[in-house]
Amino acid sequence: MKELLEGRVAVVTGSGSGIGAAVTQSFLKSGASVVATGRRMKKLERLGQHEQLELVAGDVTEPDFAGHLLDTAISRFGKCDIVVNNAGVMWAGPSHEIDIEHVISMVRVNIEAAFRVAHLFVRHFYKQNSGHIINTSSVLGTKVRPNAGAYSATKYAVEALSETMRMELSETNVKVTCVEPGLVMTDLHDHFDVHPKDASGLDEPLVPDDIARIVLEVATQPEHVLIPKVMVLPKHGAI
């Protein structure tokens, strides 16, 4: 496993916990150098110390932050090959009751920040004619559910961005992949009164390592192979 990403350099957003933390650890074990970022350094430090790991705490919605991440990858490790555009938050509720300020903050992270990161890194990858953008979407980026319309809308935006970038870059060596997880046990739902697994009666939801395995598989395909989209669902209760 160590040689799968040997010599590759990745930036992973939302690395303080959940999917981002699992992807970071998976990439490190596979030989990659990683710039891991999240809002709080205390959470990032749970990733441990690693010679090939650079921690960068900050707000991914800030206009200059994506550029700072790319600059860090280049200055620390000499280049950048992969960005896992993963930072996200989730607020849910009926459209006539949901707090609009929660919606706006979610739009800033899930759409604005995701677009800022993708835009900055795709320009860099296009210039070097290589690189892989892996955007974290959701099964809710392909279908809507009651009370999840606002969140779904943010992930539909990620789907649209990913697909248009894939088409625009089809004649280059730059890859774009959209990962669509079902319910994953992360901090995303910590503020919910009723956890979605209980609301849906799902006994065995996904865990972050499940998604990290898929991301690693996507990132280690031969150069001539592109996986544009991959949906990952829990076996039981997945509809």
d(CA 163, CA 183): 23
Of the candidates 214, 125, 124, the residue with the CA atom closest to the CA atom of residue 178: 214
The DSSP output letter for 55 is E
DSSP state of 39: S
Q: Could you confirm whether 151 is annotated as catalytic?
A: yes
Distance CA 115, CA 157 (A): 9
- Annotated active-site residue in 117, 151, 157, 162: 151
Alpha-carbon Rg for the chain in angstroms: 17
205/195 Cα distance (integer angstroms): 11
Hey, is 109 helix, strand or coil? helix
| 55 strand-pairing partners | 36
Residue with token string 């970038």: 165
Q: If DSSP codes are grouped into helix, strand and coil, which group holds residue 195?
A: coil
Report d(CA 79, CA 73) in Å as an integer: 6
Dihedral of the CA atoms 126, 129, 135, 139 (nearest 10)? 110
For the annotated catalytic residues, the residue numbers are 151
